[in-house]
């Protein structure tokens, strides 16, 4: 009841606007309780007091206590208004004042509905100034929670991160910067995880030996879990065997070995999900018959072609030609010339971010129209748009969720962005506006929400984490697409989200045009396509 009284005051401003104000002599035509049931006399007593309360001193004391208690909650010096509410609730619910007092001080009040109706019905006891005062109190009660800092005297929740950086084959610092910013935000404003600060233990690699060393170090660092960032070289050794009992929670699954591990769960479907969905998008939404696929020679890219694109194209009778792109790419003209000569309806770039700019420039130089180009999310970065954005207008691109505030996004997504406006800029000031930055940020927030749900005391047993993720419930889903680990039966138990979004680039800064279908119905679920 006490929470309802605070929440309902914001409604009173609307009543004032609709009725032109209120005073003690006005009619209350909008009352939800018949006038005969609610006394407006100055003593605030009901005509039926004796039936529910009696006139003993204990009852009167309880009534006075209720009036004083509620007045203190709402911060208003008008006993007539509060007495009207108290007496109305007693009459409508058939309760004594002692029972009402016990109810509103309990964890779950049973008189909320009656209190809400009485709060509005008794408005005739208020002056317009008092109504405005109460509405301001209600608005204050609806404000966002104040930031709560983690308690650094408590043991930390230690989470590892392995990521590939400073490697000519592929460097992905954006995901790390997004994760680091989210950790700082969680510790500064969300109270850590049940009060415990999050400690990120990071290991960077740029070769097979360095990746093996990172995995060994993280496996022996007493961690709750490890985030597998963007790591190409894990394909060259037994990454999951090296990690042992330390679970992999979050990151980017790139290879077939990532898809079906008993001790790994990812909040997304990685490359296989993205490119199976992309194949369906270009085949059905764009209506192409032939595709040229520029594939650079790293294991992640070829895995995406073999496991994601190829099965969907084959099933739909789409002709495609895979064209090798060298690493490092010193001259993009030869492979892009081959793509142009293929007479394809669209050219898809399946590559790391380093290849985006030279391929885009070569396509323009060779006269391939922008509307015949499709790019992976690795090309969706501020620095790439700054360099060649004008050449990308009209092209198509994959979006890994709502990583930026698209003006056409659903209202609930825009509300979420507004509530967190400026957080990434504040906590990750060095991070570029890029899909991988958003992926890192959302991954860490998903981990926070998941571990809060599981509880700090239960995190030491990794099976508690896996079992919770496997329970079939959909979690997340505002800035991202929502995740649920439900693909075990098709050999994809580690992948927990299959949806993808594809848009047309409308402006040189990367702003996209609204898709034909906005919202979940417009997403393409790549994992469902592979079942």
State pLDDT tens for residues 364-382: 999 999 999 999 988 998 8
At residue 199, does pLDDT exceed 70?
Answer: yes
Q: Where are the domains of the chain?
A: 2-141, 147-268+421-476, 271-399+500-529
In terms of phi and psi (left: phi > 0; alpha: psi -120 to 50; beta: otherwise), the region of 198 is beta
Question: pTM above the 0.85 mark?
Answer: no
Instruction: Please state whether beta strands 248-251 and 198-205 pair in parallel, antiparallel, or not at all (unpaired).
Output: unpaired
CATH class of the domain comprising 147-268+421-476: alpha beta
> If pLDDT is split at 50, 70 and 90, which confidence band does 305 have?
confident
Mean pLDDT on 463-483? 86
Q: Which CATH number fits domain 271-399+500-529: 3.40.50.2300, 3.30.428.10, 3.40.50.1370, 2.40.50.140?
A: 3.40.50.2300
> If pLDDT is split at 50, 70 and 90, which confidence band does 168 have?
confident
> If pLDDT is split at 50, 70 and 90, which confidence band does 27 have?
very low
At residue 222, does pLDDT exceed 90?
Answer: yes
| In contact, 174 and 431? CB cutoff 8 Å | yes
The Cα–Cα gap between 251 and 229 comes to 5
The rounded radius of gyration (Å) of the Cα atoms in the chain is 30
| In contact, 198 and 150? CB cutoff 8 Å | yes
Residue with more model confidence, 163 or 47: 163
At residue 247, does pLDDT exceed 50?
Answer: yes
At residue 166, does pLDDT exceed 90?
Answer: yes
Would you state the pLDDT for residue 479?
A: 54
Would you state the pLDDT for residue 73?
A: 61
Mean pLDDT on 315-333? 92
Per-residue pLDDT of 452-471, as tens digits, reads 999 999 999 999 999 999 99
List 72's β-bridge partners, or say none: none
Nearest-5° Cα angle at 226, 220 to 229: 125
**Could you give the percent of the chain with pLDDT greater than 70?**
83
Q: Which residue has the tokens 């997304």?
A: 268
Q: Which residue has the tokens 């065997």?
A: 241
Who contacts 325 (Cβ-Cβ below 8 Å, separation ≥6)?
A: 294, 295, 296, 297, 332, 335, 351, 355, 359
Counting beta carbons within 10 angstroms of the beta carbon of residue 137, is it exposed (0 to 12), middle (13 to 18) or buried (19 or more)? middle
Mean pLDDT on 296-323? 87
List 321's β-bridge partners, or say none: 292
Residue with more model confidence, 264 or 119: 264
Fold matches, 147-268+421-476 and 271-399+500-529: yes
List 265's β-bridge partners, or say none: 249
The Cα–Cα gap between 396 and 515 comes to 11
> If pLDDT is split at 50, 70 and 90, which confidence band does 409 have?
confident
| In contact, 156 and 198? CB cutoff 8 Å | yes
> If pLDDT is split at 50, 70 and 90, which confidence band does 384 have?
very high
Would you state the pLDDT for residue 28?
A: 42
Structure tokens at 497: 């989200």
Q: Say what the alpha-carbon torsion angle 508, 280, 439, 419 is, to the nearest 10 degrees.
A: 70
Q: Which residue has the tokens 């919202």?
A: 519
Mean pLDDT on 91-113? 79
């Amino acid at each position: 009841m006490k929470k309802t009284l605070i929440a309902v005051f914001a409604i009173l401003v609307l009543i004032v606007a609709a009725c032109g104000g209120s005073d003690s002599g006005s009619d209350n035509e909008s009352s939800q309780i018949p006038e005969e049931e609610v006394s407006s006399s100055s003593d605030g007593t009901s005509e039926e007091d004796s039936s529910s309360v009696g006139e003993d001193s204990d009852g009167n004391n309880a009534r006075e206590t209720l009036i004083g208690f509620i007045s203190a909650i709402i911060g208003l010096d008008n006993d007539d208004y509060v007495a009207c509410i108290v007496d109305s609730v007693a009459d409508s619910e058939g309760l004594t004042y002692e029972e009402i007092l016990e109810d509103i001080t309990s964890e779950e009040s049973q008189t909320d509905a009656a209190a809400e109706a009485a709060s509005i019905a008794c408005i005739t006891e208020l002056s317009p100034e008092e109504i405005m005062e109460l509405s301001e109190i209600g608005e204050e009660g609806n404000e966002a929670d104040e930031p709560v800092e983690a308690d650094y005297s408590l043991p930390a929740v230690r989470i590892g991160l392995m990521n590939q950086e400073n490697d000519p084959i592929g460097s992905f610092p954006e995901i790390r910067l997004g994760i680091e910013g989210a950790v700082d935000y969680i510790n500064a404003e969300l109270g850590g995880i049940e009060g415990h600060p999050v400690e990120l233990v990071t290991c960077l690699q740029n070769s097979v030996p360095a990746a093996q060393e990172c995995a060994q170090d993280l496996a022996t660092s007493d961690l709750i879990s490890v985030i597998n960032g963007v790591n190409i070289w894990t394909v060259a050794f037994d990454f999951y065997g090296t990690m042992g009992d330390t679970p992999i929670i979050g990151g980017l699954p790139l290879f077939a070995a990532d898809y079906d591990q008993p001790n790994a769960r990812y909040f997304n479907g990685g490359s296989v999900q993205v490119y199976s969905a992309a194949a369906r998008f270009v085949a059905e939404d764009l209506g192409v018959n032939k595709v040229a696929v520029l594939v650079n020679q790293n294991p992640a890219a070829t895995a995406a072609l073999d496991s994601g694109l190829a099965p969907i194209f084959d099933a739909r009778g789409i002709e495609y030609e895979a064209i090798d792109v060298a690493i490092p790419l010193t001259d993009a003209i030869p492979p892009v010339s081959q793509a142009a000569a293929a007479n394809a309806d669209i050219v898809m770039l399946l590559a790391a971010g380093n290849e985006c700019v030279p391929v885009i420039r070569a396509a323009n130089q060779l006269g391939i129209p922008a509307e015949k180009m499709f790019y992976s999310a690795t090309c969706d970065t501020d620095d790439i748009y700054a360099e060649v954005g004008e050449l990308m207008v009209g092209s198509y691109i994959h979006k890994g969720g709502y990583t930026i505030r698209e003006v056409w996004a659903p209202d609930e997504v825009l509300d979420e962005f507004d509530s967190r406006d400026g957080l990434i800029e504040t906590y990750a000031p060095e991070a570029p506006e890029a899909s991988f930055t958003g992926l890192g940020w959302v991954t860490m927030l998903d981990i926070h929400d998941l571990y809060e749900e599981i509880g700090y005391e239960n995190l030491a047993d990794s099976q508690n984490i896996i079992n919770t993720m496997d329970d079939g419930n959909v979690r997340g889903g505002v800035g991202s697409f929502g995740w649920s680990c439900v693909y075990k039966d098709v050999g994809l138990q580690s992948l927990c989200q299959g949806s993808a979004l594809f848009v047309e680039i409308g402006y040189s800064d990367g702003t996209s045009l609204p898709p034909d279908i906005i919202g979940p119905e417009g997403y393409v679920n790549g994992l469902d396509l592979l079942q």
